[in-house]
Structure 1
Amino acid sequence: MSVIGEESVRGVMFKDINADEDEAQPTEIESLCMNCYENGMTRLLMTKIPFFREIIISSFTCSHCHWTNTEIQSAGRIQEQGVSYTLHIKTKEDMNREVVKTDSATVRIPELDFEIPAFTQKGSLSTLEGLFDRAVAGLEQDQPKRRTTDPKVADKIDQFIQRLKNLKDVQEEFTLIIDDPSGNSFIENPFAPQKDQALSVSYYKRTAEQNTALGIEESEPEQEEENDNDPESMRNEVLVFNTNCPECNAPASTNMKLVQIPHFKEVIIMATNCDSCGHRTNEVKSGGATEELGTKITLHLTDPSDMSRDLLKSETCSVEIPELEFELGMAVLGGKFTTLEGLLKDIKEQIVMKNPFICGDSAVSDTSEKLKLFGKKIDKIMSGEMDVHIILDDPAGNSYLQNVYAPDPDPELKIEKYVRTFEHNEDLGLNDMKTEGYSTEN
């Protein structure tokens, strides 16, 4: 079956959770009751949880002994990584969050030193309040027998049950952790797709014991080690690390990826996106060392299609447009991997749109008019109405402009290599850098 065909079939089988009966009709199957061994009825519903995945909900009811049982099963495969949800519960509304707990998940409440081990309960789809009710019901199940055989233990369990009920009523703040090696458990984020400040989600690589418990055959150690050291796998991997937003200082995540630019070298692209204030930044670092020679790239713009050329501007690269008598110093826009059109848009935004001297009380009429005229000229360059030259001068030799005729020479592109001056090396911090013949002696 094709991928498109398989997705369409899954779309027909798995419906979104909906109160409309026409949208979500369960399948009824007559089955044996394990309590009285008479025939009861099992209802199966295949549905989708928003921002999660497909699940199968089963509910059994026996009309003879009135025994009932409900459980869920994941309709997808075991995920590549395990998942751990940590929820800090502060209000009663948090107890209304929907929870998917598979039979392989472990539930912990650190404040009570309470744990529901994996494979001791069937999978369930409920709310956090329902999760607590189920735990209380399990503890109360054998209490009458304990009060007869061991009253002291029964009293301690009664006290613990009362503490669970107090937490269910959120009489104090506490933390709930659901750790599932299969990666198929879930806690609802009521603010989705925005970030939930009270909920943190982390993914991890399963241990050999966890793979064995899930019935997964472990890969050969030599093969895993070989893959970990494979440079190609590193190029395809996006690394994520925690950082702070440069605007609002809220916790954020930075993505980093190694990219090979054709006919050039490897670069490191870093992107940060803040869910709190929406601030976005991207930055490009050279993946190699400082070149022995500086590089000067000159492009004569003759056609609007030149705007789509890929461009890498390092932090040490300056930009010049002689026809406009314009020069942008190094480090003003930082490192960028974009197109020529993207670079010109960034220049216009930096010089014209974000310039404090053309708006508000600081505005000077002559300066404002000159900058607005400069912005119009940038627009003409991007539309191909002006014939200009773009010069990228990088003393570190780590900048790049795409040759659309590669591997043949580009008639409109000129690349010059030059020996750096003392001033260039001083700006790059190379004059005081000594890598040979140094000694640690005073």
Structure 2
Amino acid sequence: MCTEDKKPLFRDLTAEDPDPEVTEIESLCVNCYANGITRLLLTRIPHYKNVVIMSFSCEQCGFENNEIQPGGSYAELGVRWKLRVEDPIDLNRQVVKSDYTAVRIPELDFEIPAQSQKGEVTTVEGIITRAIAGLTQDQEVRRQQHPEEAAQIEQFIERLQTLKNGGSWVLELEDISGNCFVENPQAPAKDPRCERTDFKRTKEQNHVLGVFSQDEVNPLPNTLTPCDPSQASYDQLVSDEVLQFRTNCPDCNAPADTNMKLTKIPHFKEVVIMATVCEACGHRTNEVKSGGGVEDQGVRFEVRVATKEDFSRDILKSETCNMLIPELDLEVGGRALGGRFSTAEGLVRATLEQIKDAPTLQGDTPSLVSKDNLERFIEKLQEVLDGKRSITLILDDPAGNSYVQNLNDDPAAYDDGLKVTRYDRTFEQNDELGLNDIKTENYEES
């Protein structure tokens, strides 16, 4: 339950909070097998995420150990990164790896399996350096006991060393938890040498993360209750009813209330609007979910934004919808802004606010992203909001669950500021939406 002063569970380490809540647990020392003390601190890394800092110390032998674990939930989808290392600057890209990140270098047939290393914030060069250090660790013993294997490992270490000396090669990262990231030196422009792909986890991968469906936990039929949103059915949400259930704040993890309501968008479909307000930290979230399934075709909208009337155009952007502004060379993934029902002005302003909060502009951490380029880009976005620069807003939704308002009174009439294109999805797009898995399951059952 929330305390009376409603403090967030994950708080910033500041001078205003000189006495952070530290939990101490008596635990076994793995070095001398005496009892030591493990201290747990729940805190936040600015512009990143909530973390749990764990520190162990043993008074008997002096052994100490420190570790950081993510304090947030797993992402809804897994993620794959494919980086083509072609320039020395690529070796300095920052990489965030979780415990579930698998690393592969196809050119060397080399793989670091998931859960074989602890999560860390490193660089591309740091990944290679750590791999070399791990292979070199017991080389002296191998040279005496297994000289042939030691020689083979030595040759492989030399091949790893050549990766840092230049040339072109590929680094692949796969993380079923979705907590993996590769820095883009060209941000906010699209990365020319790195590709990101989201994928739906299999049942086995969910079990590795400790994620189980309600049917697996409790196979008995359940009825809808306000405290169990996973059982919610859109049919049980009448138009004038707001369903409220308890959840945790996505920012500080304190208990909060989420309101959910079914709304009909004229000339489109029903959507579910969800809003969360946290009384502990003041964080607010607004999210829109489609009330139906995936459409038969994807949809692409091209919207001209040049006048005040264009800014007031209603737009429903689903979480699978990518947003592009060709004039600014900007591409925003579907989950960057999330699902939201807003206007053209609202989408541009939300993009501006997210870029302003980028870690590159806030901290003094070394980064490959140029602060000057981001500041100039922010100025261009501000010119768009001020009406000094016209743009074309492109919304591409493979799921077909996005909508852009026709400014004419007759929705069937032609709107010269709006172009709508329907298209058939590719196999890769179906895979990201999880449709290929459904087809495979139906085929196996038949």
TM-score, L = length of structure 2: 0.45
- Which structure has more relative contact order (CA 8 Å, sep 6+)? It is 2
Q: Which has the larger radius of gyration?
A: 1
